[in-house]
Amino acid sequence: MEIKFYNTMERQVTPFSSIVPGKVGMYTCGPTVYNFAHIGNFRAYMFEDVLRRTLEFFGYQVKQVMNLTDVDDKTIRDSRAAGVPLRDFTAKYKQAFFEDLKALNIQPAAVYPAATEHIPQMIKLIGVLMDKGFGYQAEDKSIYFSIDKFPAYGRLARIDRDNQRAGVRICTDEYAKDSVADFALWKAWDEKDGDVWWESPWGRGRPGWHIECSAMSSEYLGDAFDIHTGGVDNMFPHHEDEIAQSEAASGKKWVNCWMHCEHLMLNGEKMSKSLGNFYTLRDLVAKGWSGREIRWVLIGAHYRKKLNFTMDALAQARETLGRFDEFFARLREVTAAGDGSEIADDVAAARDEFAAAMADDLNISEALAAMFDLQRTSNRLADAGGLSHDGAAAVLAAYREFDRVIGCLDVDSEKKKDEIPAEVAALAEARSAARKAKDFAESDRLRGEIAKLGFAVEDAPGGAFRLKKL
């Protein structure tokens, strides 16, 4: 099936093809480990997870590289404020980040290169840029990238070069689009950096944020690869600066497909640390929500659309996933004979629709619609007693496939059964035995006992039964 993605660089949806057939190299700008990531950040990592899972669903072998920014303006500022050495300060948040990825069932990247462990590669890359005339050392001893020397600067973010302030330099990692200027590759040591510095041919200092990604991506993916991702706020200046550095150094096209996800919003504003309007995963887990429910909310909207986060969406996720759990439990219990032909066409249609939707620039709404349709059809058939064991097995197999992308369906989980108290289970077994012995008075009495404990028994053909919470 032809896969199409929206390429930010081209501003359109285009067919995807990888440099090496069957393999995809993908670079993802990872977290700045100066705090717990918030669920807005996780929307971006979730989009990248769904992208990667989709490529794998279609048979690609994906090598995903996600960097950890463990030295930059923010990590230095906050570690110093906390009076903790940079390494110890960031270690705590690196570990928390990995725990959160696991809770959200985000598949691990192949490598998580940390910036502090790749300083020699960054120095080497800056050296190449100096040799080629793209870098220069300013009076402040820092090394800057001269954007005048790189005419292609600004293509990704559609920068109006006429607004460029000639000869202006910028040393901070982040800056606004209207202050386009030469940006720092290497920042000369400054008092506020404390003990954070490395030796370089240009004196003591530390790397700029942007050079980290250029150096680490080429270390693990080579100097041309398939997909580079991030949130839309990464487009400028971060990705623009990455492109300038990487392409100026190699002299060739760096990334084939740029993909960016829109923001997670809270009450109409971008969720962000600086605005203070954010929830961490931990905040929500403390309120009783599961990683699985949060995942469902975060994947639910198309990645190029803003998604407004609400507690109500979490409640809906709980309900929807609960209904899927019941649905899978029901399917597992179907025992009727048959060859599955009663549902085969619906299963095939749902599989086709799901795949076509995901291949169409990750059209998650259509993919979910295919999942809900098959759920409805299967339930209707089961209600009418027309679903066979083989039919149910084919439906379950389809959801197992969907879950390779969705990642939170629990198709084979026995959790629902586990949640039934032992006392209720024992009463239900006793009731089933009474029914087999045709002692219906006893069976009715036991049904009453079970109801008192908050459960209903539903009988199925062949003496099987199901317990449902009232």
Contact residues for Zn ion, defined by CB under 5 A: 29, 213
Instruction: Count CB-CB contacts under 10 A for residue 272.
Output: 16
Residue 48 CB, nearest approach to ligand AMP (Å): 8
**Alpha-carbon separation of residue 71 from 74, 81, 96, 182, 250 (angstroms):** 8, 15, 17, 21, 25
Binding mask 217-236 for ligand AMP (x = CB under 6 A): -------------xx-xx--
Residue 263 CB, nearest approach to ligand AMP (Å): 4
Based on the shown chain and the rule CB under 6 A, indicate whether residue 270 belongs to the binding site for ligand AMP: yes
Residue from 8, 41, 121, 200 in contact with ligand AMP (CB under 6 A): 41
Residue 257 CB, nearest approach to ligand AMP (Å): 16
Question: Given the complex with Zn ion, which of 209 and 296 has the nearer CB atom?
Answer: 209
Could you tell me which stretch among 26-34, 89-97, 142-150, 443-451 binds ligand AMP (CB under 6 A)?
26-34
- Judged by beta carbon distances under 5 to 8 A according to partner kind, the member of Zn ion, ligand AMP, none in contact with residue 41 is ligand AMP
Based on the shown chain and the rule CB under 6 A, indicate whether residue 263 belongs to the binding site for ligand AMP: yes
- Judged by beta carbon distances under 5 to 8 A according to partner kind, the member of ligand AMP, Zn ion, none in contact with residue 255 is none
Question: Given the complex with ligand AMP, which of 306 and 351 has the nearer CB atom?
Answer: 306
Number of residues interacting with ligand AMP: please give it, by CB under 6 A.
16
Could you tell me which stretch among 267-275, 314-322, 336-344, 417-425 binds ligand AMP (CB under 6 A)?
267-275
If you compute the radius of gyration of the chain from its CA atoms, what whole number of angstroms results? 27
**Alpha-carbon separation of residue 358 from 10, 86, 428 (angstroms):** 20, 41, 43
Residue 137 tokens, joined: 């050392």
- Judged by beta carbon distances under 5 to 8 A according to partner kind, the member of Zn ion, ligand AMP, none in contact with residue 208 is none
Question: Given the complex with ligand AMP, which of 264 and 424 has the nearer CB atom?
Answer: 264
Phi/psi at 58 (nearest 5 deg)?
Answer: -90, 15
Based on the shown chain and the rule CB under 6 A, indicate whether residue 208 belongs to the binding site for ligand AMP: no
Could you tell me which stretch among 29-37, 56-64, 362-370, 432-440 binds ligand AMP (CB under 6 A)?
29-37
Residue 316 CB, nearest approach to ligand AMP (Å): 20
Phi/psi at 450 (nearest 5 deg)?
Answer: -65, -40
Residue from 44, 122, 143, 387 in contact with ligand AMP (CB under 6 A): 44
- Map 173-238 to HEC letters: CCCCHHHCCEEEEEEECCHHHCCCCECCCCCCEEECHHHHHHHHHHHHHCCCEEEEEEEHHHHHHH
- Judged by beta carbon distances under 5 to 8 A according to partner kind, the member of Zn ion, ligand AMP, none in contact with residue 233 is ligand AMP
| Residue ranges of E strands in 105-158 | 135-137, 143-145
CA–CA gap between residue 127 and residue 469 (Å, rounded): 67
Q: How many residues does the chain have?
A: 470
How many helices and strands in the chain, by DSSP H and E?
Answer: 15, 16
Question: Given the complex with Zn ion, which of 29 and 364 has the nearer CB atom?
Answer: 29
- Judged by beta carbon distances under 5 to 8 A according to partner kind, the member of Zn ion, ligand AMP, none in contact with residue 213 is Zn ion
CA-based torsion, 423, 425, 428, 429: positive or negative: negative
Residue 384 CB, nearest approach to ligand AMP (Å): 44
Residue 85 CB, nearest approach to ligand AMP (Å): 21
| Residue ranges of E strands in 8-68 | 12-15, 23-28, 61-66
Angle between the 389-406 and 364-383 helix axes, to the nearest 10 degrees?
160
CA–CA gap between residue 212 and residue 185 (Å, rounded): 9
**Alpha-carbon separation of residue 214 from 63, 80, 203, 455 (angstroms):** 17, 27, 21, 59
Based on the shown chain and the rule CB under 6 A, indicate whether residue 272 belongs to the binding site for ligand AMP: yes
Q: Is the peptide bond before 237 cis (omega within 30 degrees of 0)?
A: yes
Question: Given the complex with ligand AMP, which of 140 and 269 has the nearer CB atom?
Answer: 269
Phi/psi at 66 (nearest 5 deg)?
Answer: -125, 120
Based on the shown chain and the rule CB under 6 A, indicate whether residue 291 belongs to the binding site for ligand AMP: no
Based on the shown chain and the rule CB under 6 A, indicate whether residue 71 belongs to the binding site for ligand AMP: no
Based on the shown chain and the rule CB under 6 A, indicate whether residue 14 belongs to the binding site for ligand AMP: no
Question: Given the complex with Zn ion, which of 213 and 321 has the nearer CB atom?
Answer: 213
Q: Footprint of ligand AMP on this chain (CB under 6 A)?
A: 29, 31-32, 40-41, 43-44, 230-231, 233-234, 263-264, 270-272
